[in-house]
Amino acid sequence: MHESDLSSTIHSSRHLTASAAVFDPTRRTVLLAVHKLTRYYQLPGGHFGPGESGSDAAIREVREETGVQATLWRAGQFDVPGGTWQPSPIMTIEYPAPANPTWNEDPHHHVDLLFLATADSLLPTVPQLEEVDAVRWLPIDALDRPDVRPDMPVIVPIAWRLLQIGQL
């Protein structure tokens, strides 16, 4: 196999995605959506659009999937001469992704950039029914449920602690 063949195989089997852990700090809740393919409550997110940064993709996906206009957490922002500062994800996680016949995708992996954001949980949610079945704000200490994706009880508390540290 030529190097260019290997490169295209790796590229087609790994997709770059972005998601956001959106919290309402006042009410200690996190925004989750039931994804149509996984059938679990999970963080909203998805594939990058053309020309998008990771943080732009994460906030757009939150808005599209849930109807919530979240505010990206921007700890440590500063000016960079000759460059543009971009928010950093709090973690990067690779997940297996099932085949998606709607998008003509075989099973692959998502390399997901996870960002922090905040929003008001009292504002209405509007699920994007093409991709999600439901949207819900759940208490951050109530994630150990069978309808919540198994990684959420690990990831959400870590993200919550990072948000709390950043708000000091």
Cα–Cα separations (whole angstroms), residue 26 to 23, 84, 146: 9, 31, 26
Q: Tell the burial category of 91 from Cβ atoms under 10 Å away from its Cβ (0-12, 13-18, 19+).
A: middle
Q: How far apart (Å, rounded) are the C-alpha atoms in residues 22 and 70?
A: 7
CATH number at residue 97: 3.90.79.10
User: What residue numbers bound the domain in which 136 lies?
Assistant: 3-166
Report pLDDT for 12. 66
What would the DSSP string read from start to end of 40-64? SEE--EEEPPTT--HHHHHHHHHHH
Domain count, the chain: 1
Interval 19-35: pLDDT, tens: 999 999 999 999 999 99
Q: How far apart (Å, rounded) are the C-alpha atoms in residues 5 and 60?
A: 33
Report pLDDT for 5. 39
Query: Which parts of the chain register pLDDT below 50?
Result: 1-10, 168
